[in-house]
Amino acid sequence: MNRNQRLTVMALTIFLCSCSSNKIIFPTQLEYLTNSQQVLNEFIPYIQSHGYTVLNPIDTRMTTRSTSGFVTSEYLETDWLASGVYHDNSGKEYVVKQQVWILLDTGLITIKSLVGYVNEGEIITIDSVPPNLHKFVTALPEGLRNLISSKSL
């Protein structure tokens, strides 16, 4: 093989491996312009419509300490939701949990997706997921992004 063919084969191999490999889950950050309570009132039914159970629909206010002082936010947490996708090695079903922070001072929203599977009564969390599970995990953060833009929140 000449040099160009080797480079082409290597580039094609890297491309195919990157498309089929696991995807890392990063937190999603959004901006909002309205009252945080209005955002919260829109988010709770939307999250529930995706099959998630919101663990704290009434008690959402939270104050945490950060490097620059105290930060007040509205915090939503869901229960673990079965995804219908199974772990290759163990055969266990993946479960997904969503955490939403609506920061009051900055107008930012952070959505963190946790993914894992139950093994001997304990949830084993993972940072990267297969492509078919990635769509399930990112559906809620992307839906919330669309909700903010469509309702001008």
Residue 68 has a pLDDT of 83
Using an 8 Å Cβ cutoff, are 52 and 99 in contact?
no
Residue 39 has a pLDDT of 92
- Judged by DSSP in three states, 17 sits in helix
All residue ranges of the chain with pLDDT < 70 are 1, 7, 9-21
Backbone angles phi, psi at 128, to 5 degrees: -130, 145
CB atoms within 10 A of CB 102: 24
DSSP state of 78: B
Residue 137 has a pLDDT of 92
Domain 23-150 has CATH 2.160.20: no
Residue 140 has a pLDDT of 92
In this structure, what is the dihedral angle of CA atoms 136, 124, 80, 76, given to the nearest 10 degrees? -90
Q: How many helices and strands in the chain, by DSSP H and E?
A: 3, 9
Tokens of 103: 């920061």
Residue 55 has a pLDDT of 95
Residue 138 has a pLDDT of 92
Residue 7 has a pLDDT of 65
Q: Tokens 């930060």 identify what position?
A: 71
In terms of Cβ atoms closer than 10 Å to its own Cβ (0-12, 13-18, 19+), residue 106 is: exposed
**Nearest residue to 61 via CA among 70, 69, 52:** 70
Residue 24 has a pLDDT of 84
